[in-house]
Chains A and B, each alone.
Chain A
Amino acid sequence: MARRLPQGGRIDRARPIPFSFDGKALSGFAGDTLASALLANGVSTVGRSFKYHRPRGVFGHWTEEPNAILDVTRDGRREPDARATTVYLEEGRTLAAASVNAAPDAERDRLAVIDAFARFLPAGFYYKTFLWPRWGLFEPAIRAMAGLGRLDPGWLPAAPAAPCNRACDVLVVGAGPAGLAAARSAAEGGRSVLLVDDRREPGGVLLWRGGEVEGQAAEAWIADTLAAIARAGGTVMSDTTAYGVYDHGLVCALQRGAEGAPDRLWRIRAGHIVVAAGAIERPLVFADNDLPGVLSAEAGLAYLRQYGVLVGERVVVAANNDAAYPVALALREAGAHVSLVDNRPAPRLRRLAEDGGVAVLAGERVVRAEGRRAVRAATLASGARIEADALLVSGGFTPTAHLYCQAKGKLAWDDALLAFVPGAPVEGVSVVGAANGVFGLAAAVAEARAAVAVPKSGGAPAARDPAALDAAPAWPNGDAGGRAWIDLQSDVTVKDVGIAARENYASVEHLKRYTTLGMATDQGKTSNVNGIAALAAATGRAPGEVGTTTYRPPYVPVPFSAIAGLRGGERMNPVRRLPLEARHRALGATLGEYGGWLRPAYYGPGDMTEAVAREIRAAREAVAVFDASPLGKIEVIGPDAARFMDFQSYMTLSTLAPGRMRYGFMLEETGIVFDDGVVSRLDENRFRVSCSTSHVAAMHARFETWRQDQFDPARLFIHNATTHWATLAVSGPLSRLLMERLSIVADLSDAALPHMAFVEGRFAGGPATVARVSFTGERGYEVSVPAARAAELHERLLAAGRDLGVAPLGIEALMALRAEKGFVVVGLDTDGTTMPHDLGFGGPRLKRTGDFVGKRSLFTQAAEAADRKQLVGLDTVDGAPLPRGAHVVARDGGRLRSEGFVTSSYASPALRRPVALGLVARGAARHGEEVTLRHLGRELRARLRPPCAYDAKGDRLNA
């Protein structure tokens, strides 16, 4: 059993920190990870495996950990699926860890019985059963068993950290010996350097392996190098994992917040990325190698040196390479009884180990771990059995070249090194040290320095020396019988790989998907290469022929909250706000989001229906004021403006006299109505397009595009003046009276200002434009003043009109008013098939001779089809309002068919009945016809009519 040694480690024994695991109170020290603290407390089973519920203990010591995945709740906030090896204990913060996939706890898991049926649940068993009667019957039970951690449903978001950007000449990933050396060289060479490392302390492998670097003791060398980097202006960020490489040198990194601070996303744009991320030790694969007490050898050393934890009293180290020797010696020195089982017949470090008191069994290998709940012994190929409470395995090292692969580097199999190593260089990316398969310390440091000597190079050819580790093949072959585990987190065995191979899931991608190998939260960091080797063996290929799966970001799981950053809440697609918002609120407006703007829906307390009716009455019988500020105001200026407008618009505009306005459509090239609006001709060479609120940006971009594409840009200028002006629409039979009281300096007489004309005048010492337009069908004026004067204008209008019964008008009332008139809202009463002739505006299509955007499309077969959906009005037959979204239906030999639908429907106080608009097949020719509607299974009746239900002759425009 693991225990804490009385001294040693980089922990602060003066600062004990309590925590709990599965409800038991335990204690660790500052500097501990949750995993080291669990081991120090002798906790051997930390959770249950995903599929078979086998007991599992800590295996690794850092991000590669497959087993110790726990639900960690700190200060009341849960992180499901936390990796115990990377969670630090922190003073002053509570930490409660719970095992996952185990009930009631890891020790006494009720579902442990599943393991007895494991032979019937091989890889992909679910593809072969649950066919009858249907999967849906079994799925809930399977789902409940699957999954790891538990979501805390009551979890509330905390303030996230804003993502940060940074640029540098050289980004070095990993502050091990290679990374430190590269960073120092680059910084001293005058380049801006950022060095990121995911641990709390820089030093990488030196932190537990120690040794001498460039003639200095590790500790001193790290300190000197860091000082040199700082002196040369470089930056070192610890606790920061570069997890993804994207286009053009963009690297995303996660900086973990300490002491409860939120995690932060960094977007780093680097001219040169130096990947010095080290290597991850591979397990050896033998029967029952998943028992608690089986750890990676590197982890055994790391726990000893970093945390003062001895993983066992009687330790078997099983290895195929030299890196395990220092591990064995260190554990021996710390007091353990250590045997080293080496599959190489004549390991060159044998004497060294034996001199240090380690028993070496050369040419031997472990074929089985013995024990029920934890390792008790190791059985060797010879049949020998060694008692052990810890079994440390080292099957060689896998370079951590993920970031190189994400940058589109291709790995190549190195048969001497027994590893996939970076192949052809990628511009702007260097891979150095162990990440590049260079396992010698001195060679790694030299390589790192050379790599940054040339800016942006892919790096010098690697000095890979197979002798550095002298690894011998030790691939899984399943010869020992029993269950030998390749992917601990996904519960994949050598046999599973065999089944996949037998069934011809022989592509490495098929293997992964069929067996789930490498798909767990560790993304196969310890298992992928063993899996590839097992598949290679089973299909008679070399690992290089099998190849790897694609490396994808993120390298480690990244909190959603860090990626989302500050984008949430009201900052998500922020609504746009009116200059008059405060006034609307003061008038008791209920605001709503319309076309991206926060606008008054209706005013006053109480029920919306009543408020809307009140506002409608004011507009029809007295006067009402509507804030139309978000309406687009895009100006087209220049000698070619008239020609441009004719080309842009469905209606001819060059014939418009200055001072006059015309309603019309803009079409897509496909002939579909893109937007409608009123165009004013300000002078010979200047037009203003008043497009709908939600189309302003798109309309501007569209004009720009055509301007540059089909016109002489020197003779045209497009200017978006939308937010310069605030516009108030004054509407109703008393509107002229109200306008006259406004003291606007302009001739507002009907002679000077007839319907669809405008004048430019002055209001309160500033410019003002007054236009005679109407969206309600009543006499109407639109007054535009600079946005800063909007409040004054609004106030004056309401004050001056009090005795006239003036009322502010919200969008809801306006929508009903325009529906009574049969005026469409593009996107509501039209859809992506609607052409102008469907809306009763067929004239220009047939009459206009010149070309315009979308013209040709108005004559396709579909455009000329007889059954096009056309705008109609609909009257209820029984008096009940017609629901929006109801469909007009026909029957084709018993089968229902939709002929269109209701797009707008409102109560009409003026008409004392509901009014509706819709798009209905052949609608224009069917006025008077009674039709059947369907809505949510109910049938209704309605009569089709022309769209305009109120004042069809338009007399009220001049009333």
Chain B
Amino acid sequence: MQIFTCPFCGARDETEFRFMGEAGKQRPEGGRAVGEAEWAAYLYLQRNEKGPVREIWMHQPCGELFLLARDNVTHAAEPGVGLRPEGA
């Protein structure tokens, strides 16, 4: 059972967290004009890196999204980092 660190609440059990997606994914803008392939890529494709990864997680009790750098082979996890710039 892994321990992830919510940047706002601290170290918590992994069962409190929800995986939201690989970091860096952009929602294509343009609505209906977005190309079919580009839209499908946004919806479905995963980089699936093995080893160190950067992901967006939600800490469900506080509802905050944050960036989690972890290793999906060793399960080492760095403390989470908030998505908003300091002070914002």
Q: Which residues in chain A, 243-281, are within 8 Å of chain B measured between CB atoms? A: 246-248, 250, 267
Q: Which residues in chain A, 660-686, are within 8 Å of chain B measured between CB atoms? A: 669-670
Q: Which residues in chain B, 1-43, are within 8 Å of chain A measured between CB atoms? A: 1-3, 14, 18, 20, 27-32, 34, 36, 39, 43
Which residues of B lie under 8 Å from residue A700 when comparing CB positions? 63
Please tell me if the beta carbons of A710 and B27 are within 8 angstroms of each other in the complex. Answer: yes
Which residues of B lie under 8 Å from residue A669 when comparing CB positions? 43
Does A893 belong to the interface (CB within 8 Å)?
no
Q: Which residues in chain A, 829-860, are within 8 Å of chain B measured between CB atoms? A: 850-851, 855-857, 859-860
Please tell me if the beta carbons of B2 and A248 are within 8 angstroms of each other in the complex. Answer: yes
**CB-CB under 8 A for A851 and B29, given A248-B3, A708-B83:** yes
**CB-CB under 8 A for A850 and B1, given A670-B43, A701-B18, A709-B65:** no
Please tell me if the beta carbons of B65 and A856 are within 8 angstroms of each other in the complex. Answer: no
CA distance A267 to B31 in the complex (A): 49
CA distance A710 to B26 in the complex (A): 10
**B36 contacts which of A708, A855, A860 (Cβ < 8 Å)?**
A860
Does A559 belong to the interface (CB within 8 Å)?
no
Please tell me if the beta carbons of B39 and A705 are within 8 angstroms of each other in the complex. Answer: no
CA distance A851 to B29 in the complex (A): 8
Would you give the 0/1 interface string for B42-54, flagging 1 where the beta carbon is closer than 8 Å to chain A?
Answer: 0100000000000
CB distance from B30 to the nearest CB of A (A): 8
CA distance A408 to B88 in the complex (A): 42
Does A713 belong to the interface (CB within 8 Å)?
yes
CA distance A856 to B39 in the complex (A): 7
Nearest A residue (CB) for B39? A856
Does A911 belong to the interface (CB within 8 Å)?
no
Does A866 belong to the interface (CB within 8 Å)?
no
**CB-CB under 8 A for A701 and B60, given A248-B1, A670-B43, A713-B84:** yes
Please tell me if the beta carbons of B65 and A708 are within 8 angstroms of each other in the complex. Answer: yes
**CB-CB under 8 A for A248 and B29, given A701-B58, A856-B34:** no
Would you give the 0/1 interface string for A894-934, flagging 1 where the beta carbon is closer than 8 Å to chain B?
Answer: 00000000000000000000000000000000000000000
CA distance A850 to B33 in the complex (A): 11
**B31 contacts which of A713, A850, A860, A861 (Cβ < 8 Å)?**
A850
CA distance A578 to B60 in the complex (A): 24
CB distance from B46 to the nearest CB of A (A): 15
Does A828 belong to the interface (CB within 8 Å)?
no
Which residues of A lie under 8 Å from residue B28 when comparing CB positions? 856
Please tell me if the beta carbons of A704 and B88 are within 8 angstroms of each other in the complex. Answer: no
Which residues of B lie under 8 Å from residue A267 when comparing CB positions? 1
CA distance A298 to B30 in the complex (A): 76
Please tell me if the beta carbons of B1 and A856 are within 8 angstroms of each other in the complex. Answer: no
**B65 contacts which of A408, A705, A850, A851 (Cβ < 8 Å)?**
A705
Does B64 belong to the interface (CB within 8 Å)?
yes
Q: Which residues in chain A, 701-716, are within 8 Å of chain B measured between CB atoms? A: 701, 704-705, 708-710, 713-714
CA distance A408 to B75 in the complex (A): 11
CA distance A362 to B43 in the complex (A): 74
Please tell me if the beta carbons of B64 and A708 are within 8 angstroms of each other in the complex. Answer: yes
**A705 contacts which of B30, B34, B58, B74 (Cβ < 8 Å)?**
B58
Please tell me if the beta carbons of B65 and A855 are within 8 angstroms of each other in the complex. Answer: no
Nearest A residue (CB) for B83? A708
**CB-CB under 8 A for A248 and B84, given A670-B43, A708-B64, A855-B32:** no
Please tell me if the beta carbons of A704 and B63 are within 8 angstroms of each other in the complex. Answer: yes
Which residues of A lie under 8 Å from residue B1 when comparing CB positions? 246-248, 250, 267
Nearest A residue (CB) for B25? A709
Which residues of A lie under 8 Å from residue B58 when comparing CB positions? 701, 704-705
Please tell me if the beta carbons of A856 and B31 are within 8 angstroms of each other in the complex. Answer: yes
Please tell me if the beta carbons of B39 and A857 are within 8 angstroms of each other in the complex. Answer: yes
Which residues of B lie under 8 Å from residue A718 when comparing CB positions? 63
CA distance A779 to B29 in the complex (A): 43
Please tell me if the beta carbons of B43 and A857 are within 8 angstroms of each other in the complex. Answer: yes
**CB-CB under 8 A for A248 and B75, given A701-B18, A705-B20:** yes
Nearest A residue (CB) for B56? A709
Query: B1, B83, B84 — which one has the most chain A CB atoms within 10 A of its CB?
Result: B1
CA distance A190 to B83 in the complex (A): 39
Query: A669, A705, A708 — which one has the most chain B CB atoms within 10 A of its CB?
Result: A708
Please tell me if the beta carbons of A856 and B32 are within 8 angstroms of each other in the complex. Answer: yes
CA distance A764 to B60 in the complex (A): 36
Please tell me if the beta carbons of A851 and B31 are within 8 angstroms of each other in the complex. Answer: yes
Which residues of A lie under 8 Å from residue B3 when comparing CB positions? 247-248
CB distance from A877 to the nearest CB of B (A): 42
**B2 contacts which of A247, A704, A851, A856 (Cβ < 8 Å)?**
A247
Nearest B residue (CB) for A714? B88
CA distance A775 to B48 in the complex (A): 45
Nearest B residue (CB) for A706? B27
Which residues of A lie under 8 Å from residue B88 when comparing CB positions? 714
Please tell me if the beta carbons of A859 and B84 are within 8 angstroms of each other in the complex. Answer: no
Which residues of B lie under 8 Å from residue A705 when comparing CB positions? 20, 58, 65
Would you give the 0/1 interface string for A683-701, flagging 1 where the beta carbon is closer than 8 Å to chain B?
Answer: 0000000000000000011
Please tell me if the beta carbons of A859 and B60 are within 8 angstroms of each other in the complex. Answer: no
Which residues of A lie under 8 Å from residue B84 when comparing CB positions? 713
CA distance A861 to B39 in the complex (A): 13
Q: Which residues in chain A, 700-743, are within 8 Å of chain B measured between CB atoms? A: 700-701, 704-705, 708-710, 713-714, 718
**A855 contacts which of B31, B43, B64 (Cβ < 8 Å)?**
B31
CA distance A669 to B41 in the complex (A): 12
CB distance from A323 to the nearest CB of B (A): 37
Which residues of A lie under 8 Å from residue B65 when comparing CB positions? 704-705, 708-709
CB distance from B40 to the nearest CB of A (A): 8
CB distance from B6 to the nearest CB of A (A): 13
Which residues of B lie under 8 Å from residue A860 when comparing CB positions? 36, 39
Which residues of A lie under 8 Å from residue B63 when comparing CB positions? 700-701, 704, 718
CA distance A881 to B18 in the complex (A): 44
CB distance from A710 to the nearest CB of B (A): 7
Which residues of B lie under 8 Å from residue A709 when comparing CB positions? 65
Which residues of B lie under 8 Å from residue A710 when comparing CB positions? 27
CA distance A246 to B3 in the complex (A): 11
CA distance A850 to B20 in the complex (A): 25
Which residues of A lie under 8 Å from residue B60 when comparing CB positions? 701
CB distance from B75 to the nearest CB of A (A): 5
Would you give the 0/1 interface string for A227-248, flagging 1 where the beta carbon is closer than 8 Å to chain B?
Answer: 0000000000000000000111
Which residues of A lie under 8 Å from residue B83 when comparing CB positions? 708
CB distance from A866 to the nearest CB of B (A): 18
CA distance A408 to B71 in the complex (A): 14
CB distance from A549 to the nearest CB of B (A): 20
Which residues of B lie under 8 Å from residue A408 when comparing CB positions? 74
Nearest B residue (CB) for A853? B27
CA distance A671 to B88 in the complex (A): 33
CA distance A709 to B57 in the complex (A): 12
CA distance A412 to B64 in the complex (A): 45
CA distance A403 to B45 in the complex (A): 37
Please tell me if the beta carbons of A247 and B75 are within 8 angstroms of each other in the complex. Answer: yes
CA distance A730 to B36 in the complex (A): 47
CA distance A46 to B23 in the complex (A): 60
Would you give the 0/1 interface string for A407-441, flagging 1 where the beta carbon is closer than 8 Å to chain B?
Answer: 01000000000000000000000000000000000
Which residues of B lie under 8 Å from residue A713 when comparing CB positions? 84
CA distance A708 to B84 in the complex (A): 9
Which residues of A lie under 8 Å from residue B64 when comparing CB positions? 708
CB distance from B76 to the nearest CB of A (A): 9
CB distance from A832 to the nearest CB of B (A): 14
What are 17 contact pairs spanning A and B, CB under 8 A? Answer: A246-B1, A247-B3, A247-B75, A248-B1, A248-B75, A250-B1, A669-B43, A670-B43, A705-B65, A708-B64, A709-B65, A714-B88, A851-B31, A856-B31, A856-B32, A857-B39, A860-B36
Given A856-B31, A859-B32, A860-B36, 9 new contacts (CB under 8 A): A247-B3, A701-B60, A705-B58, A710-B27, A718-B63, A850-B31, A851-B29, A851-B31, A857-B39
Give B residues with C-beta under 8 Å from A: 1-3, 14, 18, 20, 27-32, 34, 36, 39, 43, 58, 60, 63-65, 74-75, 77, 83-84, 88
The 4 A-B pairs of least Cβ separation, nearest first, read: A851-B31, A247-B2, A704-B63, A856-B39
